[in-house]
Chains A and B, each alone.
Chain A
Amino acid sequence: MAAVSPTDFRGRGLPAWQPKRWSWVVIIFAVWIFGYLVLQGHNALVDGQPSTAVQDWFTKLTASITANRNTNPLFVYGFNYIGNALDSLFPWIQSALTNIGWTGVTAVFGAVALAFGNWRVSILAVLGFLSFGVLGVWADAMDTLALTIAAVVLSVIVGLALGVWAGMSDRFSRIVTPVLDFMQILPSFAYLPLITLFFLIGPGSSIIATMIYAVPPVIRLTSAGIREVSETTVEAATSLGSTRAQRLRQVQLPMAKKTIVLGINQTMMAALSMVTICALIGAPGLGETVLAAVEKLNVGVAFNAGFAIVIMAIVLDRMTTAASERTEKARRSGSVAHAGRRRATLIGAVVVAAVACYEGANYVWANQFSDGAAHPISGPVNTLSNWVELHLYTVTSWISNTTTYRVINPLENLFEQSPWWLVIIAMVALSIVLAGARVAITTALCLGVIIWFGLWNSAMHTLASVLVGSLIVMVFGTALGVWAGRNRRLETMLRPLLDAGQVMPAFVFLPPCLGLFGVGTFTGIVAAVVYAMPAVVKVVIEGIHGVSPTTIEAAQSSGSSTWQIISKVQLPMARPQLLLAFNQGVIYVLAMVVVGGLVGSQGLGLAVVTGFAQSQLAGLGLAAGIAIVLLGVMLDRITQGAGKARRTSGAS
Chain B
Amino acid sequence: MTKNRRTRVRVLALLVAAALAVAACGGAKVGASSSSPPAATGSAGSSAKPCGTVNIAVNPWVGYEADFAVVAYLLRTKLGCTVVQKNLTEQVSWQGFASGQVDVVLENWGHPELVAKYIKIATPVAEDFGQTGNKGIIGWYVPAWMATQYPDITDYKNLNKYANLFKTAESGGKGQLLDGDPSYVTNDVALVKNLNLNYKVVVGGSEATLIKSLETATTQKKPLLFYFYEPQWALANLKVARITLPPYTTGCDTNPAKVACDYPPYDLNKVVSVKFANSGSPAVQFIKNFNWTNDNQNQVAEYIANENMKDDAAAQKWVAANQSVWLPWLAGTGAS
Write out, one digit per residue, whether chain B residues 35-79 have a CB within 8 A of any chain A CB (1) or not (0). 111110000000000000000000010100000000000000000
Q: How far is the CA of A352 from the CA of B182 in the complex (A)?
A: 53
**Is there contact, CB below 8 Å, between A364 and B208?**
no
Kindly state whether residue A218 has any CB partner on chain B within 8 Å.
Answer: no
A354: chain B residues at CB < 8 Å are 18
**Is there contact, CB below 8 Å, between B204 and A515?**
no
Kindly state whether residue B151 has any CB partner on chain A within 8 Å.
Answer: no
A347: chain B residues at CB < 8 Å are 11, 14
Q: How far is the CB of B303 from chain A (nearest CB, A)?
A: 11
**Is there contact, CB below 8 Å, between B88 and A295?**
no
Instruction: Sort chain B's interface into a size bin.
Output: 35 or more
Q: How far is the CA of A565 from the CA of B261 in the complex (A)?
A: 68
A362: chain B residues at CB < 8 Å are 29-30
- Whether A515 contacts B212 in the complex (CB less than 8 A), given A362-B29, A393-B220, A599-B205, comes out as yes
A389: chain B residues at CB < 8 Å are 216
B101: chain A residues at CB < 8 Å are 200-201
* Residue in B4, B91, B215 whose beta carbon sits within 8 Å of that of A613 in the complex: B91
**Is there contact, CB below 8 Å, between B203 and A602?**
yes
- Whether A401 contacts B38 in the complex (CB less than 8 A), given A201-B88, A301-B308, comes out as no
The B-contacting residues of A in range 360-380, CB under 8 angstroms, are: 361-368, 374-375, 378
Kindly state whether residue A597 has any CB partner on chain B within 8 Å.
Answer: yes
The A-contacting residues of B in range 283-312, CB under 8 angstroms, are: 304-305, 308, 310
- Whether A378 contacts B205 in the complex (CB less than 8 A), given A359-B25, A393-B220, comes out as no
Kindly state whether residue A282 has any CB partner on chain B within 8 Å.
Answer: yes
A201: chain B residues at CB < 8 Å are 86, 88, 92, 101
Measured CB to CB, the nearest residue on chain A to B34 is: A367
A98: chain B residues at CB < 8 Å are 34-37
B7: chain A residues at CB < 8 Å are 340, 343-344
B3: chain A residues at CB < 8 Å are 340
Q: How far is the CA of A397 from the CA of B183 in the complex (A)?
A: 28
Q: How far is the CB of B93 from chain A (nearest CB, A)?
A: 10
Q: How far is the CA of A294 from the CA of B10 in the complex (A)?
A: 52
Kindly state whether residue B169 has any CB partner on chain A within 8 Å.
Answer: yes
The B-contacting residues of A in range 521-556, CB under 8 angstroms, are: 521-522
- Whether A355 contacts B21 in the complex (CB less than 8 A), given A200-B101, A201-B86, A367-B34, comes out as yes
B216: chain A residues at CB < 8 Å are 389, 393, 515, 518
**Is there contact, CB below 8 Å, between A363 and B203?**
no
Kindly state whether residue B333 has any CB partner on chain A within 8 Å.
Answer: no
Measured CB to CB, the nearest residue on chain A to B301 is: A296
Q: How far is the CA of A405 from the CA of B205 in the complex (A)?
A: 21
Kindly state whether residue A139 has any CB partner on chain B within 8 Å.
Answer: yes
Measured CB to CB, the nearest residue on chain A to B61 is: A295
Kindly state whether residue A250 has any CB partner on chain B within 8 Å.
Answer: no
* Residue in A99, A284, A297, A351 whose beta carbon sits within 8 Å of that of B208 in the complex: A297
**Is there contact, CB below 8 Å, between B86 and A599?**
no
Q: How far is the CA of A609 from the CA of B207 in the complex (A)?
A: 13
- Whether A297 contacts B211 in the complex (CB less than 8 A), given A201-B86, A361-B30, A363-B26, comes out as yes
A449: chain B residues at CB < 8 Å are none
* Residue in A355, A405, A514 whose beta carbon sits within 8 Å of that of B209 in the complex: A514
Kindly state whether residue A606 has any CB partner on chain B within 8 Å.
Answer: yes
Kindly state whether residue B160 has any CB partner on chain A within 8 Å.
Answer: no
**Is there contact, CB below 8 Å, between B203 and A296?**
no
**Is there contact, CB below 8 Å, between A364 and B14?**
no
A606: chain B residues at CB < 8 Å are 182, 203, 205
Instruction: Sort chain A's interface into a size bin.
Output: 35 or more
**Is there contact, CB below 8 Å, between B208 and A294?**
yes
**Is there contact, CB below 8 Å, between B308 and A298?**
yes
- Whether A364 contacts B29 in the complex (CB less than 8 A), given A520-B168, A521-B170, comes out as yes
**Is there contact, CB below 8 Å, between A355 and B18?**
yes
A602: chain B residues at CB < 8 Å are 170, 202-203
Kindly state whether residue A390 has any CB partner on chain B within 8 Å.
Answer: yes
Kindly state whether residue A477 has any CB partner on chain B within 8 Å.
Answer: no
Q: How far is the CA of A365 from the CA of B90 in the complex (A)?
A: 40
Kindly state whether residue A91 has any CB partner on chain B within 8 Å.
Answer: yes
B62: chain A residues at CB < 8 Å are 295-296
* Residue in B14, B25, B211, B219 whose beta carbon sits within 8 Å of that of A351 in the complex: B14
Q: How far is the CA of A408 from the CA of B170 in the complex (A)?
A: 10
Q: How far is the CA of A496 from the CA of B36 in the complex (A)?
A: 36
The A-contacting residues of B in range 105-132, CB under 8 angstroms, are: 113
Q: How far is the CA of A99 from the CA of B30 in the complex (A)?
A: 10
- Whether A363 contacts B208 in the complex (CB less than 8 A), given A519-B178, A519-B202, comes out as no
Kindly state whether residue B213 has any CB partner on chain A within 8 Å.
Answer: yes
B205: chain A residues at CB < 8 Å are 519, 597-601, 606, 609
Q: How far is the CA of A460 from the CA of B36 in the complex (A)?
A: 49
A615: chain B residues at CB < 8 Å are 91-92, 95
Kindly state whether residue A51 has any CB partner on chain B within 8 Å.
Answer: no
A to B CB contacts below 8 Å, 16 in the list: A66-B95, A95-B37, A296-B208, A340-B7, A361-B30, A362-B30, A367-B30, A367-B34, A375-B308, A378-B308, A393-B216, A405-B169, A514-B213, A598-B205, A599-B206, A606-B205
Contacts A295-B60, A347-B11, A363-B26 given; 9 further ones with Cβ under 8 A?
A296-B305, A298-B308, A344-B7, A354-B18, A365-B27, A365-B28, A519-B213, A600-B170, A610-B183
Nearest 8 interchain pairs by C-beta: A613-B183, A404-B169, A610-B182, A363-B27, A598-B205, A364-B28, A520-B170, A615-B91
